[in-house]
A = this chain, B = another copy of it.
Amino acid sequence: MKIAILGYGTIGSGVYKIIQQYKTKCIHDLEVVKVFDQPNKKNKLEIITSDIDDILGDSTIECVVETMGGIHPAYEFISAALANGKHVVTANKAVVAAYIKEFVTLANKHNVRFLFEATTGGGIPWLAGLNKAKRVDSINQFYGIFNGTSNYILDAMTKHKKTFDEVLRKTQVLGYAEADPSADIDGYDVQNKIVISSAVAFDSIVNMDDFLCYGIRNIKKEDIEYFEHKHYVIKYIGEAIKTQDTYEAFVMANAFDYDQVEANIGLNFNIVTLYGRSIDSLKFYGQGAGRLPTANAIVQDIVDIETLQTAYDFNLDVSLVYQAMQKNSYVLRYKDKIENNDIDYSNKFEDYYYNHTKEITADQLRSITNDLQLDQLFVVKIANYKG
């Protein structure tokens, strides 16, 4: 199968490397014939073109791999490729979360495949796992650590007693976090992944404006220590729950007992859990980002196309209304400046700095935090997952 790659950055060049260098039976018949990017000195691939029509207009190219990121022109290129009868594989979570229904409809119309495993959980076969579980069970809940950069930050703060800013700068130097880290630490990245996972799990497009999203930008060293004294570890979690015709979702810090699996996921790893009626809980763990793991997920999608694996059977026609039903306890730090000596670690969760709510709904929590409107507010859910 002849393939074109759009974008020759970290992920695009990783896909090229795997297809060129790994000679497994499944990859054997794949051939990258064009790469869309700006030619530059570093990058002397002969197959590079800066004219997208060299690819869209070439009827021998059966599969387009989009790794450019961002909404435009990715949206236009994906749409045109599908409309021209080419399979599309993408790692671009923003454009998929925004246009998944349109892309799936277009792919169905032109009898081609639209696959996006690499958007969510990097190299982890998470969307494939969800889709497979759904064949037998109906899936009503999933949750997990969906963002490697924020996990790296929280893990380093916990293990090495560093401040948020110290660790953030280090992740930027390492290339994990962008110069503008907002997507990772304010939750937009996880919001996109919740929308994409919900599409596969629930066959429904949920609206990320509906559900609660609290970032971890305000977390302090003292917060980590405070929860540590109570045997909790802070992790940044996305989750969604479906009940009949309604759903709710959360993106926020969660406090896990130190001996729960999620509490012990280190570095930039991801772990994601689904629940099914007969399967109970299934967890998938691995590299949630990075050049080769993400490229691996893309190549897996290409191999699915090449080996004629059955297409995802979803129409995205289930309509779910947002409704806050789950009751949870939350801990809010509502003082801006912490004098560490004043924290009373012996109190369960009532303190000059910290307030532990009763079991309340997301709407009640939203109302409380809206009233507080503190710039430095930090909100944590007490994790209470089944398994």
Residues of B within 8 A of A307 (CB): 310
Q: Given A264-B259, A300-B132, A309-B310, answer yes or no on A278-B22 (Cβ-Cβ < 8 Å).
A: yes
Are A22 and B137 interface neighbours, CB within 8 A?
yes
Residue among A260, A285, A293, A303 facing the most chain B CB atoms (10 A cut-off): A285
* Interfacial residues of chain A within 261-315, with CB under 8 A of chain B in the complex: 261, 263-266, 269, 271, 276-287, 290, 292-293, 295-296, 299-300, 303, 307-310, 313
Are A123 and B286 interface neighbours, CB within 8 A?
no
Does residue A60 face the partner (Cβ distance < 8 Å to B)?
Answer: no
- Interface size class, chain A: 35 or more
Are B286 and A136 interface neighbours, CB within 8 A?
no
Residues of B within 8 A of A259 (CB): 264, 266
Q: Once bound together, how far apart are the Cα atoms of A22 and B279, in whole Å?
A: 12
Are A24 and B263 interface neighbours, CB within 8 A?
no
* Interfacial residues of chain A within 160-181, with CB under 8 A of chain B in the complex: none
Q: Once bound together, how far apart are the Cα atoms of A14 and B284, in whole Å?
A: 24
Does residue A356 face the partner (Cβ distance < 8 Å to B)?
Answer: no
Q: Which residue of B lies closest to A26 (CB)?
A: B135
Q: Which residue of B lies closest to A269 (CB)?
A: B387
Are B285 and A18 interface neighbours, CB within 8 A?
no
Question: In angstroms, how far is the closest chain B Cβ from the Cβ of A113?
Answer: 15
Residues of B within 8 A of A303 (CB): 135-136
Question: In angstroms, how far is the closest chain B Cβ from the Cβ of A245?
Answer: 18
Q: Once bound together, how far apart are the Cα atoms of A387 and B123, in whole Å?
A: 15
Residues of B within 8 A of A266 (CB): 259
Does residue A129 face the partner (Cβ distance < 8 Å to B)?
Answer: yes
Residue among A264, A287, A295 facing the most chain B CB atoms (10 A cut-off): A264
Question: Mask for A341-377, Cβ within 8 A of B = 1, else 0?
Answer: 0000000000000000000000000000000000000
Are B296 and A287 interface neighbours, CB within 8 A?
no
Q: Can you list 20 contacts pairing A with B, beta carbon distance less than 8 Å? A: A18-B136, A22-B136, A22-B137, A22-B277, A24-B137, A27-B136, A123-B282, A136-B300, A137-B296, A259-B266, A261-B264, A269-B387, A276-B296, A278-B295, A279-B292, A281-B286, A281-B287, A283-B286, A284-B285, A309-B310
- Those 4 A-B pairs whose CB atoms lie nearest each other, nearest first: A283-B285, A278-B292, A26-B135, A282-B286
